[in-house]
Amino acid sequence: MMFIDFLGIVAGICTTLSFLPQVAQIWRTRSVDDISLGMYSTFVTGVCLWLVYGVVSAQIALILTNVVTLALAGSVLAMKLRYGKRSA
């Protein structure tokens, strides 16, 4: 593995793991009032596109980290949709 690949994987791990506290907090409290639906919708879309880019360009660091990021950010988005306040 080249150093640049290692660097990409470590960077991806750091940014991916940053979602764990948010996922855990929402899971525990079922509170999503302060979560932006627009931000997470846009972010999940962007992560999907990065994942496609990683697959097309065969960049393992992008593929691995974006699969995990998509799972974590996607779960926040799913919980926002499920636990969010319903409009009357």
* Rounded average pLDDT over 40-60: 94
pTM: 0.81
d(CA 66, CA 72): 10
User: According to the model, what pLDDT value does residue 86 have?
Assistant: 57
Domains along the chain with CATH numbers:
3-83 (1.20.1280.290)
CB 76 within 8 A of CB 26: yes
Better-scored residue on pLDDT, 77 or 60: 77
Would the pLDDT of 4 be above 90?
no
Would the pLDDT of 88 be above 60?
no
DSSP states of the chain: --HHHHHHHHHHHHHHHTTHHHHHHHHHH---TTS-HHHHHHHHHHHHHHHHHHHHTT-HHHHHHHHHHHHHHHHHHHHHHHHSPPP-
